Structures are given as structure tokens and as C-alpha cells.
Amino acid sequence: MKKLAIIGDRFMLPEKFAEEIISACGDMFDIKSMANQWPDENMEHGYAVPGMDGLKEYIGDAEEVCDFIGDAEILVTHLAPLSAAMMDRLPALKMVAVSRGGPVNIDIQSAHDRGIRVVNAPGRNASAVAEFTIGAMLAETRRIREGHESLRAGQWRGDLYRADRTGREMHEMTIGVVGYGQIGTRLVKLLRAFGSKILVCDPYVQLSPEDLDAGVTQVSLDTLLTESHVVTLHPRVSEETRHMINEKTLSQMRKDAILINTARGPLVDYPALLQALKRKVIAAAMLETFDVEPQPADSELLALPNVTLTPHIAGASVYTVTKAARMAAVEVSRYLNDQPPLNPC
């Protein structure tokens, strides 16, 4: 029997991994499972731990992880780390399935050098994040947050019905979607149902025929920022996109614009955004990801009246757990049958 190690957590449950793997491959494994305490405990970053350079967003002690994996041939995990030094201690390991879109907890180059197949689960939470983004738009544009906060504070904000303070409907707004990957394309499909004017900025892809037929327009970032009532970010983080929202680009946006970041913190220069929100350069922001996570208790963003904040939960849904576990199971099956991976890293 093949030896398979599962390291899950309190989101990606080990038993769900095991269930999907047995369903896809049959009961042919000697499976051992463990779960770390994420998200109840925070992740670590490789730069902060000796010997873990190059890794980020992982959870687990290297010694404990290596001892647990032992002589397993296959590792299925969500957030467990795997550094070069750890791989040298695991000569039996031949395949790693990571149930997340960005496998930044694994040293991919070192795995390649050692002949270890690494696969990931791109798009596992695309639907969850797209739906969450719609909710973020509605929370800001229809003053849901303001109404909620006022009632909590014992105030009845009848003034939110005033024409100069009430919100706008989605169909009358221009929505700018930055990034047209799996989340961006899913979001555009949802937005089309609202009747919004939709602008997309992504220089590396073309709009689908369906989106083109529906009047979705591909534009430059400058045009998108200038014309959009809502700007929502969905690109990957790269040197090109890091701090793409900064003092200069914020100044290009409409004064009544709302910025939404359900993607990654490094896309935004947060000190610049803080100043833009305080000075009313833009109207509001909905922030799901940050430059520092968790946000410090003394962060000025937490006290601003024109910001909605959530603790990086856009991708969290029951379906995401099922889909990610199923994607990992399919990859394990393909490995066993000498088939190429669907999502190689």
C-alpha cells in the first residue's frame, strides 16, 4: 500500500482530504493524518524563521512536519511548510498536493531539483471570492455598513435616505475589474446580471466572447481608474502589480469612487490609501486583505468611518473545502496512474 500523509487544519479538514482521495483512488493507501490549528493560530513567514527562507504563509514546525511525514511517498496539505532542508530529510517523498492557489509554503525550485512533483489548486475559491466581492460592493454602495454601525451605536440614521447621502444601484454604476483570471472572470459574469457597465483591465488576457457580446470593455488601467465608480482588484502579486494602487493611481480615481481589495495586500500602498481616505481623495474602501496581517490593534484604518474591513475571509466557504480536496484527490489519482498533472507548479 502507498504511504500517504495528510496535514490539514481547521479549514481544510484532514478527513475531507481522506474522503475525496479514497473516493478517487480507492482504499489503497496507508493514510496518516494530522491537523494544525490554523486559522485559530496565525501563519508564519519564512523570512522570520532560520532555515525557512523563501517560504511564506505556512504553519507548522519543520521538525514536527518531517517526523510526521516520515517515509510517506505522497503529501497532501494546505499550509504545511516544505523547505529544501526538509526535503533532504524526506527521501521517500515523490509527490506533494497543495490545496491552495499559491503554494508559497513549498520551495518549488528545490522540489523540482529533487524530482518531487508539486501540484496546486488554482481557482479553488474563485466562486467564493467573486460572491464575497459582490457583497462588499453592496455593503459600501448601499450604505449597509453605515446603517449597521449606526444602529449598533444607538443611532437611527434616517438621513441615509437623503438624496445627497443615499447609495447608488449597481446597474447605474461603472465597475472596474482589475485582473481577468479565474476570480475576475467569475465576478464579471455575476456583475453582468446587475446590468452594470463593466470595464476590465488585464493586459495578458482577452475577454471571452460572452463578455464581449454583453458589452464588457477591456481598457487601460488609467481609463479604468478615471471612469469607475467601483474599482475591485483581482490580479496576482508581481513586481508589476505590487503597489499598483498608490498615491498617483489613487489621485486618478473619482472622488466618489470605492476601492475594493479582496485579492492581496501587496497590491496596495496602504499608507497612501490611508491618506487618500482621510483626505477624501476617494470616497471609501472595502478591505479584505492588508499589508500586515493580522492588522495591528492601533492601525488607523480600523478607526476610519469610510472603510469596511474583514479579516481575509473572502475565500472561505464550505464549497471551497470540498472543491480543493477534490482537486488534490484527482491529482493523486493521476500520479498513481502515471498521468501528467493537471496543475503542475
Catalytic residue, chosen from 143, 186, 264, 334, is: 264
The C-alpha cell 499550509 sits at 79
305-310's contacts with Cβ under 8 Å and 24+ in sequence apart are: 306/277, 306/280, 307/277, 308/136, 308/139, 308/140, 308/145, 308/284, 310/136, 310/286
**Burial grade of 158 (CB within 10 A; 0-12, 13-18, 19 or more):** exposed
Active site residue 312: yes
Q: With both helix axes pointing from N to C terminus, report the angle between 126-141 and 318-336 in degrees, rounded to the nearest 10.
A: 160
CA distances from 124 to 15, 216, 220, 301, 321 (A): 18, 25, 28, 30, 8
Say how far apart CA 310 and CA 113 lie, in whole Å.
39
Closest CA to 4 of 101, 94, 80, 78: 94
Cell numbers for 229, please give them. 465608480
Task: Residue 309: count other Cβ atoms within 10 Å of its Cβ.
Answer: 15
Catalytic residue, chosen from 142, 168, 243, 312, is: 312
Active site residue 41: no
Q: In what order do the strands lie in the sheet with 29-35?
A: 29-35, 2-8, 74-77, 95-98, 117-119
**Burial grade of 261 (CB within 10 A; 0-12, 13-18, 19 or more):** buried
Contact 114, 91 (CB under 8 A): no
Task: Residue 279: count other Cβ atoms within 10 Å of its Cβ.
Answer: 9
In a 13 Å sphere around the CA of 32, the CA atoms on its Cβ side amount to 10
Active site residue 152: no
Residues known to be catalytic:
264, 293, 312
